[in-house]
Amino acid sequence: MADDKNEDETPKVFDKRKIDPETGEPREGSSAPGPDSDEPLVEEAPEGADDVELVDAQDADVELSDEDIALLAEAERDLVAEYRERAARAEAELKNFRTRVERDRAANREAIIAEVLRSMLPVLDDLDLAEQHGDLVEGGPLTLVAQKFRGGFEKYGVVKVGEKGERFDPKIHEAIVRIPSSDVEFDTVADVVQAGYQLGERLIRAAKVAVHSPE
């Protein structure tokens, strides 16, 4: 019983090769063509297969028509024009940016100078009062100091505003008193109580004045 069981469990190998590996001849019952057979070893491609591949190869190398070439040229011109427009816009923005930077720099410089000069205005006021009281004698030391001090203000373009007899301007004048008068047809500066100063278009301090107003 054990021997029969071992025989059943022995693996069986079947050689299904159509060509005998020892003789090289086709085995009996095989449909594979032999070396002396007129039948081709390789199955012929169906008729028209080569033509199909040839057509595919030709399709890969398509020639552009005149209309396609014109469309490509137009697209290229549009692209060049777009990049030129972008470059011009960028150049204009850069120019505007530089202009703004220079303007802001000048404004900041003027603001700093105006702040420094504003802190020194009380000294000018004292010199004006001294001059009104006759303390500034020609050739005296205080007179020389006043000349140098005022020269420094003029160097930076500081201009005194507020003159007696000029038309009242609320942009540069501050009216501290109004006096009706029949001699004027419009508001006129009657007297300057405290001079004002202006740096360029920036008003450092408005002039405090008395105003004659029409009755």
Q: What is the pLDDT of residues 81-92, one digit of tens each?
A: 889 999 999 999
Q: Where are the alpha helices (DSSP H) in 60-210?
A: 66-132, 141-155
Q: What is the pLDDT of residues 124-173, one digit of tens each?
A: 888 888 888 888 777 777 888 888 888 888 888 888 999 999 999 999 99
Check: CB of residue 33 under 8 Å from CB of residue 40: yes
Residue 200, in any domain of the structure: yes
Residue 32, in any domain of the structure: no
> Which CATH number does the domain housing residue 165 bear?
2.30.22.10
What residues contact 89, with CB distance under 8 A and at least 6 apart? none
Tokens, residue 139: 């050739």
Domain count, the chain: 1
Residue 205, in any domain of the structure: yes
- Reduce the DSSP state of residue 188 to 3 states and report it: strand
Query: What are the residues facing 210 on neighbouring strands?
Result: 177, 191
